[in-house]
Amino acid sequence: MSSVKAINEAVDQKLKTNNATDDVIVDAPECCSDHRCESKAMDNLDNMSDIMTTNTRPSRAEAEEAVRTLIKWAGDDPTRPGMIETPARVTKAYEEFFAGYRQNAEDELSKTFEDIIGYDDFVLVKNIDFTSHCEHHIVPIIGRAHVAYWPDQKIVGISKLARIVDIYAKRMVSQENMTRQIAGVIDDVLQPKGVAVVIDAVHHCMSTRGVGKPGSSTVTSMYTGIFKEDPTIKDRLLRAI
């Protein structure tokens, strides 16, 4: 079974599980070997969260009541003076923490410049600070992303690369998927000669709880096109980072 077909089946299962009626079809032949086909298919799977949000999002009052329940479960009193406004504050904070669900990364990359003449090398934006949240424990992931692409026909404003990082960071994520999503959307929309994404982050799910290793960080990376195929270019990029 091809990876695209497997991903399509996962999409179908998610739709059935969440009673969604939206039609989601991966526009790629089953035999396609281009990494962009698989990337597009994975994007469709990622976008199931948008469908679920539209169909099942609770009201603000329900969200605040859920926070009160968690406060009581933790052992405190949500009606005491110091916490009476906490449910509203937490709900508002969640709107900020997870604003990425209401933003579209492809739209951010839609404005491009085609008047850059004679430039044939990579563009790197490094040390992009971000704060995200682990999808397993909903605790912070704090780190830096380094994003590069080698333009072909389309050049994008460099601030857009930082915005793309924020869009995917402001969701509940795994670092591995976030790395893939950033690389995938740049690859799909700009169709460059290659994309490279390296992320180094501290996961509070293992630094402030669980195994309790505050000095550790996690590095993930994804390379496409020229960065994956030419080790000398990949090495030059990593030295620039």
Shared-domain flag, residues 172 and 193: yes
Enumerate the β-bridge partners of residue 112: 156
Give yes or no for residue 205 having a pLDDT over 70: yes
Shared-domain flag, residues 118 and 229: yes
Shared-domain flag, residues 67 and 135: no
Q: Which residues span the domain enclosing 215?
A: 107-240
Q: What confidence tier does 13 reach under pLDDT thresholds 50, 70, 90?
A: low
Shared-domain flag, residues 137 and 37: no
Give Cβ neighbours of residue 89 (< 8 Å, ≥ 6 apart).
Answer: none
**DSSP for 136-202, written as a single string:** TT--EEEEEEEEEEE-SS-EE-HHHHHHHHHHHHSSEE-HHHHHHHHHHHHHHHH--SEEEEEEEEE
User: What whole-number distance in Å separates Cα of residue 130 and Cα of residue 144?
Assistant: 6
Give yes or no for residue 6 having a pLDDT over 70: no
Residue 217: count other Cβ atoms within 10 Å of its Cβ: 14
Enumerate the β-bridge partners of residue 124: 148
User: What whole-number distance in Å separates Cα of residue 222 and Cα of residue 42?
Assistant: 14
102: in domain:
no
DSSP run (H or E) holding 143: strand 140-150
Q: What is the domain count for the chain?
A: 3
Q: Is the pTM higher than 0.85?
A: no
The answer to whether 42 and 10 are in contact (CB under 8 A) is no
DSSP state at residue 30: T
Residue 103: count other Cβ atoms within 10 Å of its Cβ: 15
pLDDT in tens, 63-74: 999 999 999 999
Q: What confidence tier does 8 reach under pLDDT thresholds 50, 70, 90?
A: very low
Shared-domain flag, residues 116 and 161: yes
Shared-domain flag, residues 202 and 118: yes
Strand order across the 218-225 sheet = 172-173, 123-134, 140-150, 194-203, 218-225
Residues 40-52 as b or e (16 or more Cβ within 10 Å = b): bbbbbbbebbebb
Give yes or no for residue 38 having a pLDDT over 80: no
Shared-domain flag, residues 112 and 208: yes
Q: Which residues are catalytic?
A: 134-137, 175, 203, 205
Q: What confidence tier does 206 reach under pLDDT thresholds 50, 70, 90?
A: confident
**Pairwise pLDDT comparison (202 vs 11), residue with the higher score:** 202
What pLDDT sits at residue 22?
Answer: 39
Shared-domain flag, residues 50 and 133: no
What pLDDT sits at residue 211?
Answer: 81
What pLDDT sits at residue 179?
Answer: 97
Percent of the chain with pLDDT over 90: 65
Shared-domain flag, residues 66 and 146: no
User: What whole-number distance in Å separates Cα of residue 12 and Cα of residue 24?
Assistant: 8
Check which CATH number belongs to the domain holding 81 and give it: 1.10.286.10
Mean pLDDT on 93-106: 94
Q: What confidence tier does 230 reach under pLDDT thresholds 50, 70, 90?
A: very high
Q: What is the mean pLDDT of the chain?
A: 83
User: What whole-number distance in Å separates Cα of residue 66 and Cα of residue 205?
Assistant: 22
Give Cβ neighbours of residue 124 (< 8 Å, ≥ 6 apart).
Answer: 146, 147, 148, 237, 240, 241
Give yes or no for residue 220 having a pLDDT over 80: yes
Shared-domain flag, residues 21 and 116: no
The answer to whether 178 and 137 are in contact (CB under 8 A) is no
What pLDDT sits at residue 1?
Answer: 46
What pLDDT sits at residue 87?
Answer: 96
What pLDDT sits at residue 55?
Answer: 67
What pLDDT sits at residue 115?
Answer: 76
